[in-house]
Amino acid sequence: MNIKTELLKFLKGFRYAASGIIRCIRTQRNMRFHIGAAGAVAIVAVLCSVSIAEKLALILTVGGVMALECVNTAIENAVDLATKSRPSQLAKAAKDCAAGAVLIFCIAAVFVAAEVFGRRILYILGCFAEYPELIIAAVLYFALWFWWVFLCFRENDDD
């Protein structure tokens, strides 16, 4: 075995993974929602100067939500392919369970965010009071997020 050939095969795997992530972003409204939420969490984390441990908890939680959304999409696509002409209750159950796994992790993510940011909520609100331009920035962020989630790839959405 040639090491160069093996390295190229290895790197090709990353290209396939990136292709899957991009497809998930383009076709899954929920994935775009999660990315927008992750951006909001990152901004608030910077504003609040969270600790290293809190950053790691947020990163793992956000990464887990997005990874599960990719797995959910893969399961939905595989089930749709396998049952194209004959929908079944088992196929529906598989898709519902995969979506439920994402929901469970999202609920856990909300609890992590509440724990990290809950004690800092007054500080966050104070930032908006002290710097009113942050209100404009937040409104613009949420408007762009809404556009990206619900309007940008509407013709590509599988959900």
| Residue 155 assigned to a binding site | no
Catalytic annotation on 69?
yes
Residue 157, pLDDT > 80, answer no
Q: Which residue has the higher pLDDT, 47 or 99?
A: 99
Q: Full-prediction pTM beyond 0.75?
A: yes
Q: What is the pLDDT of residues 39-50, one digit of tens each?
A: 999 999 998 899
Residue 66 in contact with residue 60, Cβ under 8 Å? no
Residue 33 in contact with residue 149, Cβ under 8 Å? yes
Contacts of 98 (CB under 8 A, 6+ apart): 71, 72, 75, 76
Q: Which residue has the higher pLDDT, 120 or 56?
A: 56
Measured distance CA(5)–CA(59) in Å, rounded: 34
| Residue 92 assigned to a binding site | no
Pick the CATH number of 11-153 from 1.10.287.3610, 1.10.287.180, 3.20.20.30, 3.40.120.10: 1.10.287.3610
**Per-residue pLDDT band at 113 (split at 50, 70, 90):** very high
| Residue 76 assigned to a binding site | yes
**Per-residue pLDDT band at 155 (split at 50, 70, 90):** low
| Residue 159 assigned to a binding site | no
Q: Looking at 69, 115, 133, 155, which residue is catalytic?
A: 69
* Spatial CA neighbour of 65 closest among 108, 20, 22, 17: 108
Measured distance CA(81)–CA(65) in Å, rounded: 24
Please state the rounded mean pLDDT for residues 112-127: 89
Q: Where are the alpha helices (DSSP H) in 28-130?
A: 29-48, 52-82, 89-117, 121-130
Q: What is the pLDDT of residues 1-36, one digit of tens each?
A: 689 889 999 999 999 999 999 999 999 999 999 999
